[in-house]
Structure 1
Amino acid sequence: MVRVRYAPSPTGEIHIGNARTALFNYLFARHNKGTFILRLDDTDEKRSTKEAIDSMIRDITWLGLDWDEGYLKGGDFGPYRQKERLDIYNHYIDILLQNGFAYELYYTDEEVDSIREEYEKTLKTFSYRKLKENETEERRKSFKEKGLTPAIVFKVEENKEIVVHDLVRGDVVFNSNEFKDFVIRRSNGLPVYNYATVIDDALMKITHVIRAEEHLSNTPKQILIFEALNFSLPTFAHISLILAPDRTKLSKRHGATSLGQFREMGILPEAMFNFLALLGWSPKDNREFFTKEELIELFDLSNVNKAPAIFDFEKLKWMNHKYLTQTSSERIYDVGTQISLDFSKKPKDWWLSFIDAMKEHFDTIRDVERISLQLFEKYEIRKEIIEKLKEYNAKELLEQFMIRLKTLEPFTIDSVLALIRELGKGLKIKGRNLYFPLRLAITMKEEGMEVHEFIYFIGKDETVRRLESVLEVLNA
């Protein structure tokens, strides 16, 4: 049975790359009717706060990823937080020491860092094994007397070829001389990632490790630990990096990069789910829109691309726009309240009507607020706008429109538009010469929402009041 895991270090909001990794694991598990596990790599006690963990849970739940086993749900292979598994890690450290695969190093982390810096200054090659050879009995005795804990270093066989059989990248060959001995438990007693993740994956019977390409260089070290402890190797799949449109690493300078930011921006979770699934994976047709069920049915690691995926925010907005046009106004309103849009200026029914009429113009739910703001701005006659209206000889157009608007029934968006068109035919005015003067007079702006929509949402009486004030100035 397929067993995969998402094992974040909960030290902040979930980056798009981590979210895509979680999604691919989820899709692979569901496609194969396997188990999707949530595990927390939370040994960084300073940064793995409850707030960070709660944020991570909120974001992956928002995305629509439900896990079968792990944090908050339990299971037969817990605990599922690394900080609760220290005794387990220490047990296997003892086995590695007893079997000669590791050795104790009586130097603190700070001392090692200082020695490494000195080596780098003199261009010498730093080696844990050389450091161990120079370690004195006096140092070991002093270390113990001070109650300090030695670091544990994994002993790497020299010039050993290690092959990573990768479902995405094929066979990738490493030589152990590229990395040599490495620490698996720090002098503060905490295990390092490359060690703890092996123990967790082995004991939790993980069958497939699906993660970002940046972890590929860690994999040969992990394979050596798997082999030293006689654990079965999982199958590896390293998915490509996600780059910004300029093909550099996606970072804050490119704008939003976390799930939480996109949620607050007003991206729908189903749009983000669909968009992320297509970052580095594609079905064998040209479709771009899929339901969750369709993605589960189609997902296969053989269709994951080796090349980096490009995060195109404009495409995400386009995709979100398509989803919004098919989403009920009630839901858009509800999501808007969740991301703190200000709906206090009008009753809910008005907002539902506005959303229903305007959703074709929304790329994100925050556009509800952005577009509606112009409806609530204070209306003041502007001299430069009056001059433009004079250039258009708009007086007759405005007078005739006002007269007809007063008796327009029913008063709807469509009937307002029909009135404008009918008036244009009667006065033999069309295009910009018809719509632009009306916009200028009623909004005092040269751009914004469609004028017939604007008229409907400010109301007949307010439109007439504005036209009367403009005509008063034009007639002066």
Structure 2
Amino acid sequence: MAITHVIRGDDHVENTFKHIEIFKAMGATPPEYGHLPMIVNNQGKPYSKRDGAAFVGEFKEQGYLPEALFNFLVLLGWAPGEDREIMTREEMVEAFTLDRCKSSAARFDMKKLRWMNGEYIARQPREDFKREFLARMAAAGLPATPLSGDLDAVLDPVQPRTKTYADIPGNCVYFFTEDYPFDAAAVQKRLAPAGVGALLREMADAFEALPDFTHEAVELAVHAKGESLGGLGAVVHPLRVAVSGIAEGPGLFEMLVLIGRERVCARLRKAARTAGAG
């Protein structure tokens, strides 16, 4: 078969001398053997099903792209140098040399995999992302069109912030329905404190009074209220949770304009009825 090299996990080191002797006994030239450290979890133990997805199909189900997973796995046992991380298969093949393989165990860092997958999603052609996005929305029983504006306007801020396809629709459901869930921890932290109810009503009044509901106008109104309270965060965080149900997402001003003035004000007044009194 003309095999020149056998590269495998270091759990096979003890078998190597036997394999070499078998080759010699058969009158064949043994290949060169190389052994790479095992992939370990955060505790330094061999990665297994108990640590999360262990099969390629499971990663696919969780919304990871094949290219991103391949890129991530290659870098677990090898480094190309020059701090390169996002690479095509062709670039990895061209740059690969055995001398740059790592001698220490590689830790399977799910946070890094999630980051890398997000980079691949952000670089996807819009039509590819849109196709998967619509499939996920349909599977969740949600409409394909947002409550206001067109779909691409919503996808502009959503795509670069999507880390895995499993994030959809949870990271953007509030653009498509009024029946969106609220994260309990975000509500407790941002809406429950005293005075938040009054703040939300005041901001609804301020938004309704704006001549135009534009990014610039919304930003000025929020900043003005933030200055009166001694900090922008006291306004931004409650507004975000009130209109989206979650603590993270697209830029607040962009998000508010995409949702639209009428819906934003209605959501603020609705949230104010259950938010912290005062």
Structure 1 pair 282/473, CA: closer, same or farther in 2 (3 Å)? closer
Could you tell me which residue of structure 2 aligns to residue 420 of structure 1?
Answer: 218
Alignment of 1:83-94 (within 5 A): none
Of the three residues 94, 108, 131, the one matched with 1:297 is 94
Alignment of 1:23-422 (within 5 A): 204-336=1-133, 342=139, 344-347=141-144, 350-375=150-175, 376=177, 378=179, 388-389=194-195, 392-404=198-210, 408=212, 415-416=214-215, 418-422=216-220
Contact 1:398 1:438 in 2 (8 A): no
Mapped pair 1:434 → 2:245: no
Q: SS of 2:115's equivalent?
A: helix
For 2:114, give the aligned amino acid: K
For 1:226, give the aligned amino acid: F
Could you tell me which residue of structure 2 aligns to residue 121 of structure 1?
Answer: none
Structure 1 pair 466/345, CA: closer, same or farther in 2 (3 Å)? same
Residue 399 of structure 1, CA deviation: 0.6
In the alignment of these two chains, the number of paired residues is 261
Partner Cα distance (1:289, 1:400) in 2: 45
Could you tell me which residue of structure 1 aligns to residue 185 of structure 2?
Answer: none
Structure 1 pair 288/304, CA: closer, same or farther in 2 (3 Å)? same
Q: Which has more strand, going by share of residues?
A: 1
Contact 1:389 1:440 in 2 (8 A): no
Contact 1:398 1:467 in 2 (8 A): yes
Partner Cα distance (1:433, 1:390) in 2: 9
Q: Which runs of 5+ in 1 are unaligned?
A: 1-203, 410-414
Mapped pair 1:466 → 2:256: no
Structure 1 pair 228/473, CA: closer, same or farther in 2 (3 Å)? closer
Partner Cα distance (1:305, 1:390) in 2: 53
Partner Cα distance (1:363, 1:253) in 2: 22
For 2:206, give the aligned amino acid: Q
For 1:243, give the aligned amino acid: V
Could you tell me which residue of structure 2 aligns to residue 178 of structure 1?
Answer: none
Q: Which runs of 5+ in 2 are unaligned?
A: 182-187
Q: SS of 1:209's equivalent?
A: strand
For 2:267, give the aligned amino acid: R
Q: Deviations over 1:206-255 (max 9, x none)?
A: 22222222222222222232222222322222222111121101012211
Q: Deviations over 1:144-167 (max 9, x none)?
A: xxxxxxxxxxxxxxxxxxxxxxxx
Structure 1 pair 351/230, CA: closer, same or farther in 2 (3 Å)? farther
Contact 1:336 1:366 in 2 (8 A): no
Contact 1:223 1:233 in 2 (8 A): yes
Considering Cα pairs closer than 8 Å and 6+ residues apart, tell me whether 1 or 2 has the greater RCO.
Answer: 2
For 1:308, give the aligned amino acid: A
TM-score normalised by structure 1 residue count: 0.47
Structure 1 pair 245/224, CA: closer, same or farther in 2 (3 Å)? same
Q: Deviations over 1:407-465 (max 9, x none)?
A: 536xxxxx33x22222245555450233245345535x473435434434544442343
Could you tell me which residue of structure 2 aligns to residue 199 of structure 1?
Answer: none
Structure 1 pair 326/214, CA: closer, same or farther in 2 (3 Å)? same
Partner Cα distance (2:102, 2:196) in 1: 60
Partner Cα distance (1:392, 1:464) in 2: 13
Partner Cα distance (1:390, 1:348) in 2: 32
Partner Cα distance (1:470, 1:296) in 2: 54
Residue 292 of structure 1, CA deviation: 1.9
Structure 1 pair 329/348, CA: closer, same or farther in 2 (3 Å)? farther
Q: SS of 1:370's equivalent?
A: coil
Partner Cα distance (2:196, 2:44) in 1: 51
Structure 1 pair 397/364, CA: closer, same or farther in 2 (3 Å)? same
Partner Cα distance (2:135, 2:261) in 1: 32
Q: SS of 2:103's equivalent?
A: coil
Partner Cα distance (2:164, 2:222) in 1: 34
Residue 265 of structure 1, CA deviation: 1.6
Structure 1 pair 305/426, CA: closer, same or farther in 2 (3 Å)? closer
Q: SS of 2:169's equivalent?
A: helix
For 1:419, give the aligned amino acid: A
Q: Which has more helix, going by share of residues?
A: 2
Partner Cα distance (2:60, 2:264) in 1: 36
Partner Cα distance (2:33, 2:178) in 1: 57
Partner Cα distance (1:339, 1:252) in 2: 26
Q: SS of 1:354's equivalent?
A: helix
TM-score normalised by structure 2 residue count: 0.76
Contact 1:240 1:306 in 2 (8 A): yes
For 1:420, give the aligned amino acid: V
